[in-house]
Amino acid sequence: MYGGPGFAHRQGSMSRLLQVLHPAAVRIAAASYLSAAVTGFAFGQDPEAFYRGKQINLIINSGAGGGYDVYARTFSRHFGKHVPGNPVIVAKNLPGAGGLLAANTLYANSDHEGLTLAALANTALFDPLLGSPGTRYDALKLNWLGSIAKVSSVCATYYTSPIKAVADARTREVIVAGAGVGTNSVVVPYILNTLLGTRFKVIRGYEAGTGLLLATERGETDGICGLSWSTLKASRPDLVAEKKLNVILQMSLEKLPELPDVPSVLDLISDPTNKKVLEFFLLRQETGRPFATAPGVPADRVVALRTAFDATMADPEFLADAAKSNLDIEPLTGAQIAQILSSAYALPKDIIEKAAILIEQSSKAR
Protein backbone atom coordinates (compact mmCIF):
# COMPACT_ATOMS: atom_id res chain seq x y z
CA MET A 1 0.00 0.00 0.00
CA TYR A 2 2.87 2.33 0.81
CA GLY A 3 5.96 3.15 -1.15
CA GLY A 4 9.03 5.29 -0.69
CA PRO A 5 12.56 4.51 0.49
CA GLY A 6 11.49 3.53 3.97
CA PHE A 7 8.99 0.89 2.93
CA ALA A 8 11.43 -2.01 2.53
CA HIS A 9 13.07 -1.15 5.83
CA ARG A 10 9.66 -1.07 7.53
CA GLN A 11 8.85 -4.53 6.16
CA GLY A 12 12.14 -5.82 7.56
CA SER A 13 11.38 -4.27 10.94
CA MET A 14 7.95 -5.88 11.03
CA SER A 15 9.52 -9.27 10.32
CA ARG A 16 11.99 -8.71 13.15
CA LEU A 17 9.11 -7.58 15.35
CA LEU A 18 7.23 -10.83 14.82
CA GLN A 19 10.36 -12.71 15.90
CA VAL A 20 10.53 -10.69 19.13
CA LEU A 21 6.88 -11.24 20.02
CA HIS A 22 5.72 -14.60 21.25
CA PRO A 23 3.69 -16.44 18.54
CA ALA A 24 0.79 -16.98 20.92
CA ALA A 25 0.74 -13.28 21.70
CA VAL A 26 0.49 -12.46 18.01
CA ARG A 27 -2.48 -14.81 17.65
CA ILE A 28 -4.16 -13.23 20.70
CA ALA A 29 -3.60 -9.77 19.25
CA ALA A 30 -5.09 -10.65 15.88
CA ALA A 31 -8.08 -12.35 17.49
CA SER A 32 -8.77 -9.46 19.88
CA TYR A 33 -8.56 -6.90 17.07
CA LEU A 34 -10.98 -8.82 14.87
CA SER A 35 -13.31 -9.40 17.82
CA ALA A 36 -13.38 -5.70 18.64
CA ALA A 37 -14.08 -4.86 15.00
CA VAL A 38 -17.10 -7.16 14.93
CA THR A 39 -18.65 -7.23 18.42
CA GLY A 40 -17.88 -3.64 19.30
CA PHE A 41 -19.26 -2.13 16.12
CA ALA A 42 -21.69 0.69 16.80
CA PHE A 43 -23.06 3.30 14.47
CA GLY A 44 -23.67 6.99 14.89
CA GLN A 45 -24.69 9.59 12.36
CA ASP A 46 -23.35 8.91 8.87
CA PRO A 47 -19.65 9.95 9.04
CA GLU A 48 -19.85 12.27 6.04
CA ALA A 49 -22.91 14.05 7.41
CA PHE A 50 -21.40 14.17 10.89
CA TYR A 51 -18.05 15.66 9.90
CA ARG A 52 -19.35 18.14 7.30
CA GLY A 53 -18.76 21.69 8.57
CA LYS A 54 -17.07 20.44 11.76
CA GLN A 55 -13.64 21.00 13.30
CA ILE A 56 -11.37 18.18 14.46
CA ASN A 57 -8.95 19.16 17.21
CA LEU A 58 -5.55 17.47 17.01
CA ILE A 59 -3.68 17.38 20.33
CA ILE A 60 0.11 17.25 19.92
CA ASN A 61 1.95 15.69 22.85
CA SER A 62 5.02 17.95 22.62
CA GLY A 63 5.95 21.60 22.36
CA ALA A 64 6.34 23.54 19.13
CA GLY A 65 9.29 22.88 16.86
CA GLY A 66 10.20 19.33 17.89
CA GLY A 67 9.92 16.19 15.81
CA TYR A 68 6.44 15.18 16.97
CA ASP A 69 5.19 18.70 16.30
CA VAL A 70 6.64 18.84 12.78
CA TYR A 71 5.22 15.43 11.89
CA ALA A 72 1.79 16.16 13.35
CA ARG A 73 1.41 19.57 11.71
CA THR A 74 2.51 18.22 8.34
CA PHE A 75 -0.10 15.47 8.74
CA SER A 76 -2.80 17.94 9.79
CA ARG A 77 -2.42 19.92 6.56
CA HIS A 78 -3.54 16.93 4.47
CA PHE A 79 -5.67 14.68 6.67
CA GLY A 80 -8.92 16.67 6.52
CA LYS A 81 -9.42 16.23 2.78
CA HIS A 82 -9.50 12.45 3.24
CA VAL A 83 -12.05 12.47 6.09
CA PRO A 84 -15.68 12.21 4.87
CA GLY A 85 -17.22 15.69 4.98
CA ASN A 86 -13.78 17.36 4.85
CA PRO A 87 -13.64 18.84 8.39
CA VAL A 88 -11.12 21.51 9.35
CA ILE A 89 -8.14 20.17 11.33
CA VAL A 90 -6.80 22.42 14.10
CA ALA A 91 -3.55 21.36 15.76
CA LYS A 92 -2.86 22.34 19.37
CA ASN A 93 0.27 21.65 21.43
CA LEU A 94 -0.22 20.06 24.84
CA PRO A 95 3.21 19.08 26.20
CA GLY A 96 3.76 17.71 29.68
CA ALA A 97 4.84 14.67 31.70
CA GLY A 98 6.65 13.02 28.80
CA GLY A 99 3.49 12.87 26.70
CA LEU A 100 1.20 11.60 29.49
CA LEU A 101 -0.75 14.85 29.68
CA ALA A 102 -1.89 14.51 26.07
CA ALA A 103 -2.82 10.84 26.50
CA ASN A 104 -4.70 11.45 29.75
CA THR A 105 -6.55 14.38 28.19
CA LEU A 106 -7.57 12.40 25.12
CA TYR A 107 -8.81 9.52 27.24
CA ALA A 108 -10.74 11.32 29.96
CA ASN A 109 -11.34 14.94 29.04
CA SER A 110 -11.97 14.97 25.29
CA ASP A 111 -15.20 14.33 23.45
CA HIS A 112 -16.06 10.77 22.51
CA GLU A 113 -17.60 11.68 19.17
CA GLY A 114 -14.48 11.54 17.03
CA LEU A 115 -13.79 15.29 17.00
CA THR A 116 -10.60 15.02 19.04
CA LEU A 117 -7.48 13.18 17.92
CA ALA A 118 -4.02 13.07 19.48
CA ALA A 119 -0.51 12.66 18.16
CA LEU A 120 0.97 10.72 21.06
CA ALA A 121 4.42 9.65 22.18
CA ASN A 122 5.29 6.05 21.39
CA THR A 123 5.81 5.46 25.11
CA ALA A 124 2.12 6.29 25.70
CA LEU A 125 1.09 2.88 24.43
CA PHE A 126 3.14 1.10 27.09
CA ASP A 127 3.05 3.39 30.13
CA PRO A 128 -0.09 1.71 31.55
CA LEU A 129 1.53 -1.71 31.16
CA LEU A 130 4.62 -0.53 33.03
CA GLY A 131 2.62 1.15 35.78
CA SER A 132 4.16 4.54 35.01
CA PRO A 133 3.18 7.20 37.58
CA GLY A 134 0.57 9.66 36.33
CA THR A 135 -0.96 7.26 33.82
CA ARG A 136 -4.75 7.60 33.88
CA TYR A 137 -5.84 5.81 30.71
CA ASP A 138 -6.16 2.33 29.23
CA ALA A 139 -4.10 2.11 26.05
CA LEU A 140 -6.06 -0.94 24.91
CA LYS A 141 -9.28 1.08 24.88
CA LEU A 142 -8.00 3.99 22.80
CA ASN A 143 -8.88 3.83 19.09
CA TRP A 144 -5.53 3.78 17.29
CA LEU A 145 -5.61 5.20 13.77
CA GLY A 146 -2.06 4.48 12.67
CA SER A 147 1.50 5.75 12.92
CA ILE A 148 3.39 7.96 10.49
CA ALA A 149 6.83 6.51 11.18
CA LYS A 150 8.76 4.52 13.70
CA VAL A 151 11.30 6.13 16.01
CA SER A 152 14.87 4.85 15.95
CA SER A 153 16.99 6.29 18.73
CA VAL A 154 20.69 7.03 18.69
CA CYS A 155 23.35 8.16 21.12
CA ALA A 156 25.34 11.05 19.72
CA THR A 157 28.00 13.44 20.96
CA TYR A 158 28.95 16.85 19.63
CA TYR A 159 31.88 16.89 17.23
CA THR A 160 34.06 18.74 19.77
CA SER A 161 33.55 16.04 22.43
CA PRO A 162 36.35 13.55 23.07
CA ILE A 163 33.73 10.77 23.11
CA LYS A 164 33.91 9.37 19.59
CA ALA A 165 32.74 5.77 20.06
CA VAL A 166 30.60 3.72 22.43
CA ALA A 167 33.79 2.17 23.83
CA ASP A 168 34.73 5.64 25.13
CA ALA A 169 31.42 5.82 27.00
CA ARG A 170 32.35 2.62 28.84
CA THR A 171 35.64 3.98 30.15
CA ARG A 172 34.77 7.55 31.14
CA GLU A 173 31.80 9.58 32.30
CA VAL A 174 29.72 11.12 29.51
CA ILE A 175 27.40 14.04 30.32
CA VAL A 176 24.18 13.88 28.29
CA ALA A 177 21.17 16.18 28.16
CA GLY A 178 17.83 14.82 29.32
CA ALA A 179 14.24 16.06 29.27
CA GLY A 180 11.66 14.94 31.84
CA VAL A 181 11.36 11.76 33.87
CA GLY A 182 10.26 8.83 31.72
CA THR A 183 11.42 10.31 28.41
CA ASN A 184 13.83 8.42 26.18
CA SER A 185 16.62 10.91 26.80
CA VAL A 186 16.49 10.01 30.51
CA VAL A 187 15.52 6.33 30.41
CA VAL A 188 17.80 5.13 27.59
CA PRO A 189 21.10 6.27 29.15
CA TYR A 190 20.20 4.55 32.42
CA ILE A 191 19.25 1.33 30.65
CA LEU A 192 22.52 1.35 28.73
CA ASN A 193 24.48 1.98 31.92
CA THR A 194 22.77 -1.03 33.52
CA LEU A 195 22.81 -3.46 30.61
CA LEU A 196 25.85 -2.32 28.63
CA GLY A 197 28.17 -0.88 31.26
CA THR A 198 28.29 2.65 29.85
CA ARG A 199 28.87 5.68 32.11
CA PHE A 200 26.29 8.21 30.94
CA LYS A 201 25.35 10.93 33.41
CA VAL A 202 22.05 12.63 32.63
CA ILE A 203 21.42 16.31 33.31
CA ARG A 204 17.63 16.51 33.35
CA GLY A 205 15.20 19.36 32.80
CA TYR A 206 15.95 20.44 29.24
CA GLU A 207 13.13 21.03 26.80
CA ALA A 208 12.60 17.91 24.72
CA GLY A 209 13.87 18.07 21.15
CA THR A 210 15.48 21.40 20.33
CA GLY A 211 16.38 22.13 23.97
CA LEU A 212 18.49 18.98 24.18
CA LEU A 213 20.37 19.87 21.02
CA LEU A 214 20.99 23.45 22.14
CA ALA A 215 22.48 22.19 25.40
CA THR A 216 24.91 20.08 23.41
CA GLU A 217 25.81 22.90 21.04
CA ARG A 218 26.44 25.25 23.97
CA GLY A 219 28.86 22.75 25.47
CA GLU A 220 26.73 22.13 28.56
CA THR A 221 26.72 18.41 27.76
CA ASP A 222 28.73 16.00 25.63
CA GLY A 223 25.64 14.92 23.74
CA ILE A 224 22.30 13.13 23.92
CA CYS A 225 21.42 9.46 24.30
CA GLY A 226 17.92 8.43 23.27
CA LEU A 227 17.67 11.01 20.48
CA SER A 228 15.26 10.19 17.67
CA TRP A 229 17.15 10.02 14.40
CA SER A 230 14.12 11.14 12.41
CA THR A 231 13.53 14.05 14.81
CA LEU A 232 17.13 15.13 14.38
CA LYS A 233 16.86 15.10 10.60
CA ALA A 234 13.56 16.99 10.68
CA SER A 235 14.41 19.65 13.26
CA ARG A 236 18.17 20.13 12.71
CA PRO A 237 19.21 18.75 9.33
CA ASP A 238 22.21 21.08 9.41
CA LEU A 239 23.80 19.06 12.21
CA VAL A 240 23.57 15.92 10.09
CA ALA A 241 24.70 17.54 6.83
CA GLU A 242 27.66 19.30 8.47
CA LYS A 243 28.62 16.16 10.45
CA LYS A 244 28.55 17.99 13.75
CA LEU A 245 27.42 14.93 15.68
CA ASN A 246 29.29 11.71 16.37
CA VAL A 247 26.63 8.98 16.28
CA ILE A 248 28.15 6.30 18.55
CA LEU A 249 25.24 3.87 18.99
CA GLN A 250 21.89 3.09 17.40
CA MET A 251 18.90 1.49 19.09
CA SER A 252 16.27 -0.19 16.94
CA LEU A 253 15.18 -3.72 16.05
CA GLU A 254 16.73 -3.23 12.61
CA LYS A 255 19.83 -1.16 11.87
CA LEU A 256 19.25 2.08 10.02
CA PRO A 257 20.43 1.91 6.40
CA GLU A 258 21.84 5.44 6.78
CA LEU A 259 24.14 4.37 9.63
CA PRO A 260 25.73 1.11 8.46
CA ASP A 261 28.94 1.64 10.42
CA VAL A 262 27.31 2.60 13.72
CA PRO A 263 27.00 -0.39 16.09
CA SER A 264 23.58 -1.65 17.16
CA VAL A 265 22.99 -2.05 20.87
CA LEU A 266 21.47 -5.50 20.27
CA ASP A 267 24.80 -6.70 18.91
CA LEU A 268 26.60 -5.63 22.09
CA ILE A 269 24.47 -7.47 24.66
CA SER A 270 24.87 -11.24 25.05
CA ASP A 271 22.83 -12.03 28.18
CA PRO A 272 19.51 -13.54 26.92
CA THR A 273 17.30 -11.96 29.61
CA ASN A 274 18.88 -8.55 29.22
CA LYS A 275 18.45 -8.79 25.47
CA LYS A 276 14.74 -9.58 25.88
CA VAL A 277 14.30 -6.57 28.16
CA LEU A 278 16.11 -4.37 25.66
CA GLU A 279 13.99 -5.72 22.82
CA PHE A 280 10.91 -4.68 24.78
CA PHE A 281 12.21 -1.10 24.97
CA LEU A 282 12.96 -1.15 21.26
CA LEU A 283 9.50 -2.56 20.61
CA ARG A 284 8.06 0.66 22.05
CA GLN A 285 9.83 2.58 19.30
CA GLU A 286 8.20 0.52 16.56
CA THR A 287 4.89 2.31 17.12
CA GLY A 288 6.79 5.49 16.39
CA ARG A 289 4.49 8.47 15.96
CA PRO A 290 1.02 7.11 16.68
CA PHE A 291 -2.34 8.84 16.32
CA ALA A 292 -5.46 7.90 18.28
CA THR A 293 -8.96 9.02 19.07
CA ALA A 294 -10.85 8.52 22.31
CA PRO A 295 -12.64 5.37 23.44
CA GLY A 296 -16.36 5.28 22.83
CA VAL A 297 -16.25 6.91 19.40
CA PRO A 298 -18.83 5.23 17.13
CA ALA A 299 -17.04 2.48 15.25
CA ASP A 300 -18.11 3.66 11.80
CA ARG A 301 -16.37 6.97 12.49
CA VAL A 302 -13.28 5.10 13.71
CA VAL A 303 -13.28 3.18 10.43
CA ALA A 304 -13.63 6.45 8.50
CA LEU A 305 -10.73 8.04 10.43
CA ARG A 306 -8.50 4.99 9.95
CA THR A 307 -9.29 4.93 6.25
CA ALA A 308 -8.50 8.64 6.03
CA PHE A 309 -5.21 8.09 7.88
CA ASP A 310 -4.17 5.36 5.42
CA ALA A 311 -5.17 7.54 2.48
CA THR A 312 -3.09 10.43 3.85
CA MET A 313 -0.02 8.19 4.11
CA ALA A 314 -0.35 7.43 0.38
CA ASP A 315 -1.21 11.00 -0.65
CA PRO A 316 1.46 12.35 -3.06
CA GLU A 317 0.95 15.89 -1.77
CA PHE A 318 1.49 14.77 1.84
CA LEU A 319 4.59 12.79 0.86
CA ALA A 320 6.00 15.77 -1.03
CA ASP A 321 5.30 18.06 1.93
CA ALA A 322 6.99 15.57 4.27
CA ALA A 323 10.02 15.34 2.00
CA LYS A 324 10.50 19.12 2.20
CA SER A 325 10.96 18.77 5.98
CA ASN A 326 13.15 15.67 5.74
CA LEU A 327 10.50 13.50 7.39
CA ASP A 328 10.85 9.74 7.17
CA ILE A 329 7.51 8.12 6.33
CA GLU A 330 7.26 4.47 7.43
CA PRO A 331 3.57 4.09 8.29
CA LEU A 332 1.71 1.52 10.34
CA THR A 333 -2.03 0.95 10.10
CA GLY A 334 -4.33 1.01 13.10
CA ALA A 335 -4.57 -2.80 12.88
CA GLN A 336 -0.77 -3.14 13.03
CA ILE A 337 -0.57 -0.90 16.08
CA ALA A 338 -3.29 -2.96 17.75
CA GLN A 339 -1.28 -6.09 17.04
CA ILE A 340 1.92 -4.66 18.52
CA LEU A 341 0.08 -3.30 21.54
CA SER A 342 -1.86 -6.44 22.38
CA SER A 343 1.22 -8.58 21.81
CA ALA A 344 3.35 -6.46 24.12
CA TYR A 345 0.74 -6.74 26.85
CA ALA A 346 0.98 -10.54 26.53
CA LEU A 347 4.78 -10.70 27.02
CA PRO A 348 6.15 -12.64 30.05
CA LYS A 349 5.65 -10.81 33.33
CA ASP A 350 9.29 -11.10 34.37
CA ILE A 351 10.40 -9.14 31.30
CA ILE A 352 7.82 -6.42 31.89
CA GLU A 353 8.67 -6.23 35.60
CA LYS A 354 12.39 -5.85 34.93
CA ALA A 355 11.68 -3.16 32.35
CA ALA A 356 9.41 -1.33 34.79
CA ILE A 357 12.09 -1.47 37.50
CA LEU A 358 14.68 -0.01 35.15
CA ILE A 359 12.38 2.87 34.21
CA GLU A 360 11.55 3.57 37.85
CA GLN A 361 15.22 3.51 38.82
CA SER A 362 16.07 5.87 35.96
CA SER A 363 13.78 8.50 37.50
CA LYS A 364 15.76 8.39 40.73
CA ALA A 365 19.28 8.12 39.29
CA ARG A 366 21.61 11.04 39.68
**Same domain for 278 and 350:** no
Q: Is a pLDDT exceeding 70 seen at residue 43? A: no
**Same domain for 341 and 243:** no
SS (H, E, C) 272-283: HHHHHHHHHHHH
**Same domain for 296 and 265:** no
Among 283, 317, 347, the domain boundary falls at 283
Helices (H), 222-333: 229-235, 237-241, 272-286, 299-313, 316-324
**Same domain for 146 and 291:** yes
DSSP-assigned letters across all residues of 116-138: EEEE--GGGGTHHHHT-TT--S-
Give the pLDDT band (50/70/90) at residue 7. very low
pLDDT at 361: 86
Taking residues 33-52, what's their average pLDDT?
Answer: 64
- Give the residue with greater pLDDT, 35 vs 12: 12
pLDDT at 20: 57
Q: What is the pLDDT of residues 276-327, one digit of tens each?
A: 999 888 888 888 899 999 999 999 999 999 999 999 999 999 999 999 988 9
pLDDT at 41: 47
Most confident option among 16-30, 183-197, 243-257, 296-310: 296-310
pLDDT at 84: 98
For residue 207, is it within any domain? yes
pLDDT at 29: 46
For residue 1, is it within any domain? no
Q: Is a pLDDT exceeding 50 seen at residue 154? A: yes
Structural domain total, the chain: 2
**Same domain for 99 and 43:** yes
Contacts of 38 (CB under 8 A, 6+ apart): none
Partners of 227 in the beta sheet? 154
For residue 2, is it within any domain? no
For residue 159, is it within any domain? yes
Give the pLDDT band (50/70/90) at residue 198. very high
* Domain ranges, residue 234: 153-283
Among 283, 315, 340, the domain boundary falls at 283
Q: How many CB atoms lie within 10 A of CB 6?
A: 18
For residue 324, the domain's CATH number is 3.40.190.150
Find the angle CA(20)-CA(23)-CA(26) to the nearest 5 degrees: 90
Q: Report the distance separating Cα 256 and Cα 261, nearest Å.
A: 10
pLDDT at 44: 61
